[in-house]
């Protein structure tokens, strides 16, 4: 793992949890006040991860995947290994409060960030298959 992908979070946040079909524990963390608005992100994340695993026929390498909604996060999102960080507005959705555009935005950003996790695994699989053109990279 590259050092820039390391993330730690010390918060008093709560989480919603689910599991993928292959058994990966999936959690979405947020402020207690926004917790009910993370259910769509959880559903989208599980579906996206299952899609990538099936499409590429490569199992997700981690036992768990967490996503966290940060109210004061400067970036839009960051694909930290096992703990994807999001600006809160890119991870929360409630049909009573937000437009369908926000729902689509959550699904797109979640799928995009999870694609980074899966692409890292694909490149590792290629490297481990002794593909010499990638051996000089620190994947």
Domain containing residue 24: CATH number? 1.10.390.10
Which of 43, 53, 79, 113 is flagged as catalytic?
113
Q: Taking the model in full, what pTM does it have? A: 0.84
- pLDDT, residue 8, reads 86
Nearby residues of 68 by Cβ (< 8 Å), 6 or more positions away: 9, 11, 13, 28, 29, 30, 83, 84, 85, 86, 91
Which residues in the chain land under pLDDT 70? 1, 120-139
- Position 1 in a domain: no
- List pLDDT tens digits, range 81-106: 899 999 999 999 999 999 999 999 99
The pLDDT assigned to 37 comes to: 97
Q: How many domains, in total, are found in the chain?
A: 1
Task: Please report whether residue 3 resides in a domain.
Answer: no
Asked if 63 is an active-site residue, the reply is: no
Domain assignment present for residue 139? The answer is no
Tell me which residue range forms the domain holding 19.
Answer: 12-130
């Amino acid at each position: 793992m590259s050092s820039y992908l390391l993330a730690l979070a010390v918060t008093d946040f709560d989480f919603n949890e689910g599991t993928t079909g292959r058994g990966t524990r999936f959690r979405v963390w947020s402020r207690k006040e926004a917790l009910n608005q993370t259910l769509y992100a959880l559903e989208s994340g599980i579906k996206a991860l299952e899609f990538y695993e099936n499409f590429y026929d490569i199992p997700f390498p981690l036992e768990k995947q967490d996503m966290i909604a940060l109210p004061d996060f400067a970036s839009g999102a960051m694909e930290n290994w096992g703990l994807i960080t999001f600006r809160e507005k890119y991870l929360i959705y409630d049909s009573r409060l937000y437009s369908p555009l926000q729902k689509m935005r959550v699904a797109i950003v979640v799928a995009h960030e999870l694609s980074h996790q899966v692409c890292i695994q694909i490149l590792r699989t290629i490297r481990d298959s002794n593909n010499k053109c990638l051996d000089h990279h620190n994947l």
